[in-house]
């Protein structure tokens, strides 16, 4: 069957914290932004396998603060579908730009975001060492800096 669909999480539903912390390992940080943002879930045959969170940061600008896909479903195009859906949702809500940030060590994510039309606009040096309690390592690299990307959608 393998039918993939994306929907907004209802206010009474529990967010998929296990997926969200896979993309952002600090539970306190995740809880802080999901309480202020809008969470969407991607379901495959009725099971949640992915999610993302949109958070308004400034007038007319929304940030895609978390995109996560279950490890056993990565590399199958679900992340790309979630990102494309997020861009479409942001556009339909009247935002002019959608931003995203990722770690300097998140090589696969940097490639994916650029393939989805995002452009690198800056670096927030030492973001992860300043804001996270524990060091983060990916691809044998310490995650220290936040790479900021944007897509203009007006």
Q: pLDDT of the chain along its 154 residues, tens only?
A: 679 999 999 989 999 999 999 988 889 989 999 999 999 999 999 999 999 999 999 999 999 999 999 999 999 999 999 999 999 999 999 999 999 999 999 999 999 999 999 999 999 999 999 988 889 999 999 999 999 999 999 8
pLDDT of residue 130: 94
- We find that the CATH architecture of domain 4-152 is 3-Layer(aba) Sandwich (3.40)
At residue 9, φ and ψ (nearest 5 deg) are -75, 130
* Whether pTM exceeds 0.85: yes
pLDDT of residue 1: 60
pLDDT of residue 25: 85
Specify the DSSP class assigned to residue 127.
H
- Contacts of 51 by beta carbon, 8 Å cutoff, 6+ apart: 9, 15, 16, 19, 20, 39, 40, 41, 42, 66, 67, 68, 82
pLDDT of residue 6: 98
pLDDT of residue 132: 87
pLDDT of residue 50: 97
pLDDT of residue 2: 78
pLDDT of residue 149: 98
């Amino acid at each position: 069957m393998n039918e993939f669909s994306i929907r907004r999480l209802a206010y009474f539903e529990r967010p998929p914290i296990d997926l969200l912390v896979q993309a952002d390992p600090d539970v306190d940080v995740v809880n802080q932004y999901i309480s202020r943002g809008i969470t969407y879930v991607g379901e495959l045959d009725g099971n949640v396998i992915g999610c993302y969170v949109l958070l308004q940061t400034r007038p007319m600008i929304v940030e895609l603060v978390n995109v996560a896909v279950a490890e056993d479903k990565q590399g199958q195009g679900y992340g790309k579908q979630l990102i494309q859906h997020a861009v479409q949702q942001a556009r339909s809500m009247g935002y002019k730009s959608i931003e995203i940030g990722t770690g300097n060590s998140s090589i696969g994510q940097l490639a994916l975001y650029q393939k989805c039309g995002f452009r690198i606009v800056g670096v927030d040096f030492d973001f992860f060492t300043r804001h996270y309690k524990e060091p983060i390592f990916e691809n044998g690299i310490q995650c220290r800096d936040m790479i900021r990307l944007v897509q203009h959608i007006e």
